[in-house]
Amino acid sequence: MTHNDTPVTRRRLLQGFGALTAGTMFSGIRVAFASAPVDTRFIFVILRGAMDGLNVIPPYGDSNYTEARNGLALKPADYAPLDTFYGAHNNLANFAAMFRAKEAIALQAAATPYRLRSHFDGQNVLESGGLAPHELPTGWLNRALALYGARDAKLGLAVGETIPLSLQGKVEVATWAPDVFGMPSDTMLILLDKMYNKDRLFEQTLKEAVNVHTIADQALGGPDAMKKMGNGGNLQNKVAMQKTAEAVGKILSDPQGPRIATMEINGWDTHFQQGTDKGPLANNLAALDAGFGALKESLGAHWQNTVIFAATEFGRTVRQNGTAGTDHGTASCAFLLGGAVDGGRVVAAWPGLGGNNLYQNRDLAPTTDLRQVAKAVLVEHLHLERAGVEKHVFPASADLRPLEGLIRA
Amino acid sequence: MTANKPTFIAVTRFGLGAAPGDFDTIDKPRQWLASQLDPRYVQSAAPQNIPTTMEALQQMRTNNMMMRQSRMMAKATGNAEMEAQLADKIKAKNKEKQQRVVGQDAAMIRAAAVSPAPFFERLVRFWTNHFTVSVTKGQDATLIAPYVQEAIRPHVLGNFHDLLRAATRHPAMEIYLDNQISMGPHSRAGLRQRKGLNENLARETMELHSIGVDGGYTQTDVTEFSEILTGWTVDRDNKGDGSGFFFNPNMHEPGDKTFLGEIYHDNGVHEGEHALQVLAHHPATGKFLATKLVRHFIADDPPPAAVAHLAQAYNAHHGNLTPVYRALINMKEAWEHPLAKLKTPDELFLSLLRAGGLTHKLKDNQIIGPLRMLGQMPFSAPSPAGWSDKSADWMSAQALLQRINIARLAGRLLSTQFNPSYLMENTIGPVASNETRRAVLNAGSVEEAITLLFSSPEFQRR
């Protein structure tokens, strides 16, 4: 598409969003209106790094919660109760408000079929929709798009420089990303610092860089000042996430735009100094929540037809490890949000946190298969035939019932 | 995987970085390097669709003529609207030209990144930087790609004299170092226009291109050499031999000159030709070039024994460069300390393109953008000395952050294509530290793992 036939709405959006470039923004996201098979919207948010679900949707009603987490459990002041058993971390204020408005669901003790603990393999299963890593070469969302048949329009949008596996496959999809880099996340800086441990030049220079930026932050009036000035690329940054999500909402609102999008947020791999009310996990949640809020706002009237599904590859150990963090685990929580969600409930078959209840004596046991959620969205929200979904999208899942009642009738 | 340190050194220190599979296919690293000293790569691995020097000059001529005519018309009629149109026209032309240059620069980078002879390409880049031309002086950038193609590339494996001569004669150099405006004060043009010498080219040809600042010349030598070179200019009106060079006798200083102790009788263009012969075969030149080669390929502080060895090869082979490269790769110092030097941004970016197979996935602007971000926009070196070859000049807090940002970009682009462990083994496997291995293998996502891999000291060094 050339610049000249860019729809006015998107051109305006571009002008109001200086960080974006025309090249990435407009490449191929135009859809012929008449050919769009559904008027619903779906966003799959991939939470990479294994989110610690127990401190996101804390099962405070489980009498073993505080003891089992040995020092890492959220205190009552750190969460808002969602019901008499589960809460939501304070940094999920938008999510909690949507929950109360009955347009958000939290799922607990959910997992993919993958039972080992490699991030890459876990994400491969989450995104390919297979039973084992590398069993399927394409993504479940792309295979779902294929069920709509051949179209001259791009229904899928990958938010990012590249297409995640979940959207990879035969059907062509669009990509879009804000292209401004900010500082690497704190998590990344810590990892870099450790990696540079034996190389004096790199180690010293990185420290210097961090110092310089800290000073600049202070000079500009607080750590957010720099970020406000264009920390665009890193969705772990709250402002960047907010701006990006705003733009995504607008792109999906365009009648000629795509219908289905993926977003990715890194940094859930909290092996050290995870924190409770504050810390890397809390910061990531704040960014994610800002994204939820911005999507709702910018989708406007389309929010009523929207489902957002956010999931991670696996959870983390119930117990704290030796560096005030958690290691790779099994089940975690997931989110469903949107006007089309029949919300206000936590959906879980709670396995318990007592000694005998843990998976391999360390992890939250999985009782819900994330594919049950995805299948429900595909069938009830995106109006795809269940038989086709079970044949092409999630093969070998025929005996896995889509969860009922997630989507408004 | 049979990867070992010599293979790693051949591929990263002498080549342009590892592409997946390189470590498996290169089992005799020294032979692999020697096999690339083959003149067929001058053509076979060259970038496509680069205009010739004559074509570039012709285009400049056409543009200038059009502009001149429009300007005259606008002036003659005094028409404000016409003048505004002219301004728009100039703007559009400049934009079009800029885009053309970005395309050519990107084409050159792409060709190098996919070349089957990365050592040969490294040598092309080394000599291009040695004979730097730069857009920082507002020179016509459209001449630069033809300059590399015609003046540098064909002579990289030949005799240094031919390389020196081709670079010095080329319009890009004549313009960059001001020789096109240098006139003998007693030449016809000089007397008529009351203009005189510009010493820039003469000085830099000695100081930066041949005998070096310690080569034993005086200010008198600089002045006399400037006189010798007067009249060496650009073939603006298509009157020359088809190379882009034109000797204008009207600008040439008449009379005898004394340069480096030798008397040059009035002999037009032949004075300069002889002077370049003398400089190419001067003993100081061998030492100067040997020092630069050793600094580039081996260590920031060149070991004196290695320099002496290469200088000796240069002199023994009368300035033929291929035997010098052979001596370089046969030296034991060349195979020690695998991570002694920091990659320049250019080297870093090329190695990223190779590692990730990204060469043809990026648009022209996405090829040039990162280099701008990293502070090494093609052909914009801050001085005629070219880009620094010392690690310290490429490291700072912001520079490191930008390097990490480029790694983040690559991490995003590649996260769905690569297994980080595979990519690590295939790029830095033979030298990866425990710290780097741990960081890459334990990262929270493929994107982060690849970001860490490309940010690692082992990937950032060579």
**What would the DSSP string read from start to end of A256-303?**
TS-SEEEEEE------S---SSSSHHHHHHHHHHHHHHHHHHHHGGGG
Provide, as residue numbers in chain B, all residues whose Cβ is less than 8 Å from the Cβ of A232: none
Minimum-distance CB partner of B444 among A211, A233, A269: A269
A165 with B416: CB under 8 angstroms? yes
Taking residues A115-119, report their average pLDDT: 86
User: Sorting pLDDT into bands at 50, 70 and 90, what band is B311?
Assistant: very high
Provide, as residue numbers in chain B, all residues whose Cβ is less than 8 Å from the Cβ of A211: 397
The class that CATH gives domain A22-182+230-393 is: alpha beta
Taking residues A207-229, report their average pLDDT: 51
Minimum-distance CB partner of A209 among B401, B448, B451: B401
Query: Which residues 40-99 in chain A show a CB within 8 A of chain B?
Result: 48-50
Provide, as residue numbers in chain B, all residues whose Cβ is less than 8 Å from the Cβ of A188: 408, 448, 451
Q: Is A28 left (phi over 0), alpha (psi -120 to 50) or beta?
A: left
Indicate the pTM of the whole model. Answer: 0.69
Q: Is the pLDDT of residue B204 over 80?
A: yes
**The amino acid at A298:** S
Instruction: Calculate how close chain B gets to A139, using CA atoms only, in Å.
Output: 11
Minimum-distance CB partner of B408 among A123, A164, A181: A181
Q: Could you tell me the residue ranges of all domains in chain B? A: 5-39+340-460, 159-298+301-338
How many CB pairs lie under 8 A apart between chains A and B?
111
Taking residues B234-244, report their average pLDDT: 93
Output A218 or A336, whichever has higher pLDDT.
Answer: A336
Name residues whose C-beta falls within 8 Å of residue B283's C-beta, 6 or more positions apart in sequence. B315
Contact at CB, A191 and B456, closer than 8 angstroms? no
Name residues whose C-beta falls within 8 Å of residue B177's C-beta, 6 or more positions apart in sequence. B200, B201, B204, B205, B384
User: Sorting pLDDT into bands at 50, 70 and 90, what band is B398?
Assistant: confident
Biggest distance spanned by C-alpha atoms of chain B: 76
Q: Is the pLDDT of residue A26 over 70?
A: no
Instruction: Calculate how close chain B gets to A70, using CA atoms only, in Å.
Output: 24
**Token pair 């005189």: residue:** B196
Q: Token digits for A11?
A: 């051109």
Provide, as residue numbers in chain B, all residues whose Cβ is less than 8 Å from the Cβ of A23: 363, 365
Q: State the burial class of residue A221 (Cβ atoms within 10 Å of its Cβ: 0-12, 13-18, 19+).
A: exposed
Instruction: Give pLDDT, residue A178.
Output: 59
Say if A200 is an interface residue toward chain B (CB within 8 Å).
no
Q: Token digits for A65?
A: 């919660």
User: What do you get for the CA distance between the two ends of chain A, in Å?
Assistant: 38
Provide, as residue numbers in chain A, all residues whose Cβ is less than 8 Å from the Cβ of B446: 119-120, 123
Question: How many residues are present in chain B?
Answer: 462
Name residues whose C-beta falls within 8 Å of residue A21's C-beta, 6 or more positions apart in sequence. A179
Tell me the range of A200-204, A228-232, A320-324, B225-229 where mean pLDDT is highest: B225-229
Taking residues B317-332, report their average pLDDT: 97
Instruction: Calculate how close chain B gets to A206, using CA atoms only, in Å.
Output: 6
User: Sorting pLDDT into bands at 50, 70 and 90, what band is A214?
Assistant: low
Instruction: Give pLDDT, residue B131.
Output: 98
Instruction: Give pLDDT, residue B137.
Output: 67
Q: Is the pLDDT of residue A254 over 90?
A: no
Say if A291 is an interface residue toward chain B (CB within 8 Å).
no
Instruction: Give pLDDT, residue B247.
Output: 98
Instruction: Give pLDDT, residue B133.
Output: 96
User: Sorting pLDDT into bands at 50, 70 and 90, what band is A355?
Assistant: confident
When mean pLDDT is compared across A89-103, A225-239, B41-55, the lowest value belongs to A225-239
Instruction: Give pLDDT, residue A36.
Output: 66
Question: How many residues are present in chain A?
Answer: 409
User: Sorting pLDDT into bands at 50, 70 and 90, what band is B136?
Assistant: confident
- Beta partners for residue B257, in sequence order: B264
Q: Is the pLDDT of residue B32 over 50?
A: yes
Taking residues B211-219, report their average pLDDT: 91
Provide, as residue numbers in chain B, all residues whose Cβ is less than 8 Å from the Cβ of A268: 444
Predicted complex ipTM: 0.89
Spatial distance between the Cα atoms of B443 and A49, rounded to a whole number of angstroms: 8
Spatial distance between the Cα atoms of B407 and B417, rounded to a whole number of angstroms: 15
**Token pair 């070992």: residue:** B4
- φ and ψ at A44, to 5 degrees? -105, 120
Spatial distance between the Cα atoms of B140 and B133, rounded to a whole number of angstroms: 11
Per residue in B44-101, pLDDT tens? 999 998 999 999 999 988 888 888 888 888 778 777 777 778 888 888 888 888 899 9
Minimum-distance CB partner of B412 among A160, A183, A209: A160
Contact at CB, A23 and B363, closer than 8 angstroms? yes
Taking residues B143-164, report their average pLDDT: 98
Instruction: Give pLDDT, residue A400.
Output: 95
Q: Is the pLDDT of residue A183 over 80?
A: no
Contact at CB, A267 and B444, closer than 8 angstroms? yes
Say if A274 is an interface residue toward chain B (CB within 8 Å).
no
Q: Is the pLDDT of residue B173 over 80?
A: yes
In this prediction, what percent of chain B has a pLDDT beyond 70? 99
Per residue in A310-345, pLDDT tens? 999 999 999 998 878 898 899 999 999 999 999 999
Q: Is the pLDDT of residue A16 over 60?
A: no
Provide, as residue numbers in chain A, all residues whose Cβ is less than 8 Å from the Cβ of B357: none
Give residue ranges of B with CB < 8 Å to any A CB.
Answer: 342, 363, 365, 391, 395-401, 404-405, 408-409, 412-416, 419-420, 433, 435-436, 438-439, 442-449, 451-452, 455-457, 460
Taking residues B123-136, report their average pLDDT: 94
Minimum-distance CB partner of A191 among B414, B443, B447: B443
Q: Token digits for A390?
A: 């079970």
Mutation pick from A190, A192, A195 vs chain B, by most beta carbons of B within 10 Å, is A195
Contact at CB, A268 and B444, closer than 8 angstroms? yes
Find the residue in B nearest to A197 (Cα). B435
Mutation pick from B342, B390, B415 vs chain A, by most beta carbons of A within 10 Å, is B415
Say if A183 is an interface residue toward chain B (CB within 8 Å).
yes
User: Sorting pLDDT into bands at 50, 70 and 90, what band is A221?
Assistant: very low
Instruction: Give pLDDT, residue B170.
Output: 97
Mean of per-residue pLDDT scores for chain A: 84
B387 with B376: CB under 8 angstroms? yes
Instruction: Give pLDDT, residue A162.
Output: 66
The DSSP element (H or E) to which B309 belongs, if any, is helix B304-316
Provide, as residue numbers in chain B, all residues whose Cβ is less than 8 Å from the Cβ of A160: 412
User: Sorting pLDDT into bands at 50, 70 and 90, what band is B195?
Assistant: confident
Instruction: Give pLDDT, residue A369.
Output: 98
Output B374 or B425, whichever has higher pLDDT.
Answer: B425
When mean pLDDT is compared across A285-299, A356-370, B56-70, B161-175, the lowest value belongs to B56-70
Cα dihedral across residues B68, B72, B75, B77: positive or negative: negative
Spatial distance between the Cα atoms of A173 and A154, rounded to a whole number of angstroms: 5
Provide, as residue numbers in chain B, all residues whose Cβ is less than 8 Å from the Cβ of A49: 444-445, 448
Spatial distance between the Cα atoms of B22 and A409, rounded to a whole number of angstroms: 57
Instruction: Give pLDDT, residue B437.
Output: 97
Provide, as residue numbers in chain A, all residues whose Cβ is less than 8 Å from the Cβ of B401: 183-184, 209
- DSSP of A16-65, one letter per residue? T-TT--HHHHHTT----GGG-S---EEEEEEETT---GGGTS--TTSTTH
Q: Is the pLDDT of residue B129 over 60?
A: yes
Provide, as residue numbers in chain A, all residues whose Cβ is less than 8 Å from the Cβ of B424: none
Contact at CB, B445 and A123, closer than 8 angstroms? yes
Instruction: Calculate how close chain A gets to B282, using CA atoms only, in Å.
Output: 39
DSSP letter assigned to residue A366: P
Instruction: Calculate how close chain A gets to B306, using CA atoms only, in Å.
Output: 26
Say if A350 is an interface residue toward chain B (CB within 8 Å).
no
The CA angle A207-A208-A211, to the nearest 5 degrees, is 90
Q: Is the pLDDT of residue B213 over 90?
A: no
Provide, as residue numbers in chain A, all residues whose Cβ is less than 8 Å from the Cβ of B443: 119, 191, 269
Say if A151 is an interface residue toward chain B (CB within 8 Å).
no
Minimum-distance CB partner of A195 among B342, B439, B445: B439
Give the Cβ contact number of residue A286 at 10 Å: 21
When mean pLDDT is compared across A126-130, A132-136, A171-175, B348-352, the lowest value belongs to A171-175
Candidates B209, B225, B214, B227; CA nearest to B261 is: B225
Contact at CB, A120 and B409, closer than 8 angstroms? no
Per residue in A289-305, pLDDT tens? 999 999 999 999 999 99
User: Sorting pLDDT into bands at 50, 70 and 90, what band is B3?
Assistant: low
Output B397 or A65, whichever has higher pLDDT.
Answer: A65
Minimum-distance CB partner of A205 among B400, B439, B447: B400
Instruction: Give pLDDT, residue A228.
Output: 42
Instruction: Give pLDDT, residue A287.
Output: 96
Spatial distance between the Cα atoms of B273 and B278, rounded to a whole number of angstroms: 9
